[in-house]
Structure 1
Amino acid sequence: MWPFSKSQSIAESGILCEMTDCHSHILPGVDDGVKTMDESLQILAEIKRQGVRKVWLTPHIMEDIPNTTAGLKERFQELKEKFRKPEDAYCGTVELNLAAEYMMDNLFEERLETDDLLLLCEGYRQYLLVETSCFNPPMNLLSVLKRIQAKGYRPLLAHPERYLYMNMPDYRALKHEGIAFQLNLPAITGMYGLHAQKKAASLLKAGMYDLTGTDMHASKHFKEWLGTRIDSRDRDMLWVHFPAYHDGL
């Protein structure tokens, strides 16, 4: 057990130190996340102060936000150039990577068919970060996940704790099929409400999560979350169930 009081703020707890953030919306001006380059750089500066080692930028791709692979790569290159300028006050050693968060809709079916995808590569695995509506699953959810696997990618289900239509038997069934789960860390501190917080704790205790992320969308929300409290037991569970937490999993 770590020698600290029963609860600390996220910033004080050190849970972000050496972390790999596998889900974020800080690529500016491309979705419902960060809007400006300056705000992105401010967030990256705070990320550096918190000791985060690696960040995957995962902008939305869906019918309502039909980002193209080429367009996202171009914007990503602009951000990297700004972040790495020697004279830039935000310059740091945080490793930036580009993937995407795909809503499993008709546009995704087209991108999957043509392999027009931005993958999240950690270790020897190629993950494809996907999501559904928080309220209703696609009618063919398992079929789509199976097609992803048939392409040689491992489906990584974003923030499963937020899906109101899922319960523990559903989660177990998906894990049995080899689906990876990504925890939104703010869920542990109640940022999405009590229901998601309880589900996240249950999934974490059951060892069902594979990767973690902040899913940050704005500097304001990130700063607010850094000030929220995390119980020592929750921090300990993160360490127990993510033994390679500081090594990018």
Structure 2
Amino acid sequence: MAIRICDMHCHILPGIDDGAQDMDETMAALHEAYEQGIRAVIATPHYYPEKYEPDGSTIRQLLQQVKLRCREEQLDIRLYAGQECFGYSGLVDKLNRGEVLTMAGSRYVLTEFSPDCAYAQIQQILTLLQQGGYYPILAHFERYECLEHEERIQELKNRGILLQMNYDTFLKKPGWFRKSQWQKMLQDGTVDLVGSDCHGTHYRPYHADDAIRWIRKNVDTEIQRKIFVKNVHQILRKE
């Protein structure tokens, strides 16, 4: 099955957060992404109050510079702007003012929390986003200790929250990763989106190829299409 993979969670813009530190590292990461089968990328630099606060115009300018380098190096990969936003009470206002970016100009918002955050905090912030007319995507949902109870994961899904898992999660078991559980959630359709969470070529480099092969071998075709095509296209088409 030929599917054009879009990496919808990565930190490859140069010098803007804890991801790629310069343009050379950005381009090396993108070439590696292409070699591993990725043909589109939504760049999602962190928005974290008082730590990483890049404005939307800076992100777009950097993205244009990266697009130019891709053309110069004949790297045929599509690039879109987004952000990974730390969930807090002021996020909706930031989004409304355009100071923080949604995913590829859509109403989808990639949202993260501290790994040890309370479940009530996740519920509260995601509810505020939905009330503001946004569609939350919970970034690397497997990281949150409060979601060890699977009924909470299902509760979020029932409320329309999209769940994003990192590629590394279901292949490795460091710390809070429970590999067999996450593999099952891919196979039963719990997971809505997968992303690399790549931070360049040194810290969290691309390891998408093994994960993509595992999904293609072990996950039902229709669920693959949902993860790789349908849900990503809804973001890119602003549906």
Larger relative contact order (C-alpha < 8 A, sep ≥ 6)? 1
Q: Determine whether 1:160 maps to 2:141.
A: yes
Residues in 2 aligned to 1:76 and 1:172: alpha-carbon distance in whole angstroms? 36
Deviations 1:22-61 (A, max 9, x none): 1001111111111110011011112222221211100000
TM-score using structure 2 length:
0.82
Question: SS at the partner of 1:200?
Answer: helix
Question: SS at the partner of 1:33?
Answer: coil
C-alpha displacement of 1:105? 2.6
AA in 1 matched with 2:21: K
Question: SS at the partner of 1:222?
Answer: coil
Question: SS at the partner of 2:177?
Answer: helix
Give the one of 181, 184, 188 matched to 2:163. Answer: 181
AA in 1 matched with 2:75: G
Q: Determine whether 1:170 maps to 2:157.
A: no
TM-score using structure 1 length:
0.79
Q: Which deviates the most, 65-74 or 236-245?
A: 236-245
- The verdict on how the C-alpha distance between 1:31 and 1:138 changes in structure 2, with shifts beyond 3 A counting, is farther
Give aligned-pair identity as a percent.
26
Match of 1:29 in 2: 15
Q: Determine whether 1:84 maps to 2:71.
A: yes
Equivalences for 1:114-129 in 2 at 5 Å?
114-121=97-104, 126-129=107-110
Residues in 2 aligned to 1:231 and 1:194: alpha-carbon distance in whole angstroms? 23
RMSD after superposition: 2.9
Match of 2:81 in 1: 98
Give the one of 121, 128, 141 matched to 1:147. Answer: 128
- The verdict on how the C-alpha distance between 1:217 and 1:196 changes in structure 2, with shifts beyond 3 A counting, is farther
Deviations 1:181-211 (A, max 9, x none): 1121111111644634344223223311111
Residues in 1 aligned to 2:136 and 2:178: alpha-carbon distance in whole angstroms? 21
- The verdict on how the C-alpha distance between 1:213 and 1:227 changes in structure 2, with shifts beyond 3 A counting, is closer
Structure 2, unpaired ranges of 5+:
234-239
AA in 2 matched with 1:74: Q
C-alpha displacement of 1:244? 4.5
Question: SS at the partner of 1:40?
Answer: helix
- The verdict on how the C-alpha distance between 1:227 and 1:76 changes in structure 2, with shifts beyond 3 A counting, is closer
- The verdict on how the C-alpha distance between 1:117 and 1:129 changes in structure 2, with shifts beyond 3 A counting, is same
Match of 2:48 in 1: 62
Give the one of 10, 30, 37 matched to 1:51. Answer: 37
C-alpha displacement of 1:230? 8.2
Question: SS at the partner of 1:218?
Answer: coil
Q: Determine whether 1:205 maps to 2:168.
A: no
C-alpha displacement of 1:143? 2.7
C-alpha displacement of 1:228? 6.2
